[in-house]
Amino acid sequence: MNIQDGIKEVKKEFTTDEQMLVSAFKLEKFYKKNKIAIFVVAGLVVAFFSGKAILEAIENSRLNSANDAYLVLQKDEKNTQALDKLKSKNPELFEL
């Protein structure tokens, strides 16, 4: 009986190894078939998040510049450079 049990276990191992190889081949076939689409989607995702981060950094820079101009205006209300800068960078804050 031990030999038969050993043979059954070996068959089970071969079956699982075979299934793993079959799934690996299916994955490789899918990759070869859709390689360009996979890279395009990955590139679009990277471009989207990069663009979003860049736009957010630009917006933060604009707001910081407007805040600096507002702080200068609080100290010196007649500073025309700060007034123009605030008007161009953040019109809503300028109206206040």
Question: Each residue's pLDDT tens digit in the chain (96 positions)?
Answer: 577 877 888 788 778 888 888 999 999 999 999 999 999 999 999 999 999 999 999 999 988 888 888 788 788 777 778 777 877 777 776 666
In this structure, the answer to whether residues 44 and 66 fall within a common structural domain is yes
Supply the pTM of this predicted model: 0.61
pLDDT score of 80: 77
In this structure, the answer to whether residues 55 and 21 fall within a common structural domain is no
Enumerate residues 6+ apart whose C-beta is below 8 A from 38: 31
Range of the domain at 18: 1-33
In this structure, the answer to whether residues 64 and 50 fall within a common structural domain is yes
In this structure, the answer to whether residues 68 and 89 fall within a common structural domain is yes
In this structure, the answer to whether residues 22 and 39 fall within a common structural domain is no
The Cα 87–Cα 72 span in angstroms is 13
Number of domains forming the structure of the chain: 2
pLDDT score of 96: 67
